[in-house]
Amino acid sequence: MIEVRNLKKAFRGNTILDGVSFRVESGESVVIIGRSGGGKSVLLKHLIALLMPDAGQVLIDGEDLCCLNERQLLRVRRKFGMLFQGAALFDSLTVAENVAFALNRERKMSAQDVRRKVGEVLEMVELSGTEEKKPSELSGGMRKRVGLARAIIYQPQIVLYDEPTTGLDPVVSDSIDQLILRVRDALKVTTVVVTHDMRSARRLGQRIMMLHDKRIYVTGTPDEIFGSADPVVHRFVNGISVPKEHYF
């Protein structure tokens, strides 16, 4: 279970998050939507302690991440898998080495078992046969699939997705969405997705939270959010700019 209490974060005096609080239950699938530059990725990075809050708490299964040092955090992070916006694959390693990274570091499995496991997850993300390729040889969609395979190979309890469909064409975006759903259902993981792709948000979220004005502005089911009469929510989910944003 993830719980965020009154989280505040500023960079060089510029407040990004100002009193964000929410809770994600185990096995739940939550989508966080909001404007570009609104702090969604910053919020997501707080959940796995890649960033530390200026004030407030982030609790994972009741354990406050703010009280832990970097080595103690490694233990908590074993519960997580994360797919980065740009996939963040290690460009000096092959696809197989990227995917097997966590298992190889743990040194608990034999090389043969690791190879078999890599084959299984690559098959799950429909990338069998790419084991020996380097990340630079892959397309954007393929890189995200490899990033996802790397994040789920050690069967984490929670998977975080940072803009999983950004920069991809609609067909590839759809396949990534399907993959996220398949991972969620097959591995029964808690899923937190940050996106401003409304189609993905509707499809992936059992619950949607909208980050607006540095706080969680509204929370609801996809039907509630997409049917909302609130002008801020309505304008965002339907992609309508306010008059002052018509520059030309």
Partner 1 sequence: MFSFAQRFAAEWLEGLGKLSILAKEAIGSLFAMRLSFKDFLYQLYFIGVKSQSVVVVTGAFTGMVLCAQTYFQFHKVKMDDATLAVVSVSMCSELGPVLTALMVTARVGAAMAAEIGTMKVTEQIDALRTLATHPVDYLVVPRLLASLISLPLLTAESVIIGIVAGYLVGVFLLGIDPAYAYYNMRRYTADVDLAIGLIKSFIFGGLLALIGCYKGMTCGEGAEGVGRATTEAVVYASISILICNFFLTLTLTELLKYL
Q: Rule CB under 8 A: is residue 175 a binding residue for partner 1?
A: no
Instruction: Decide if residue 48 touches partner 1 (CB under 8 A).
Output: yes
Strand-pair partners of 10: 15
45 binds partner 1 (CB under 8 A): yes
Rounded Cα gap, residues 154 and 213, in angstroms: 36
Q: Could you say which of 10, 68, 102, 172 contacts partner 1 (CB under 8 A)? A: 102
Q: Nearest distance from residue 189's CB to partner 1, in Å?
A: 14
Which is closer to partner 1, CB of 45 or CB of 184?
Answer: 45
Residue selected from 22, 29, 34, 84 as contacting partner 1 according to rule CB under 8 A? 84
Q: Is 170 exposed, middle or buried (0-12, 13-18, 19+ CB in 10 A)?
A: exposed
Q: Does 240 bind partner 1 (CB under 8 A)?
A: no
- Which region among 67-75, 182-190, 208-216, 231-239 touches partner 1 (by CB under 8 A)? 67-75
Tokens standing for residue 135: 């990340």
SS (H, E, C) 146-210: HHHHHHHCCCCCEEEEECCCCCCCHHHHHHHHHHHHHHHHHHCCEEEEECCCHHHHHHHCCEEEE
* Identity of the amino acid at 217: Y
Interface positions with partner 1 (CB under 8 A)? 45, 48, 50, 70-71, 73-75, 77-78, 80-82, 84-86, 88-91, 101-102, 105, 150-151
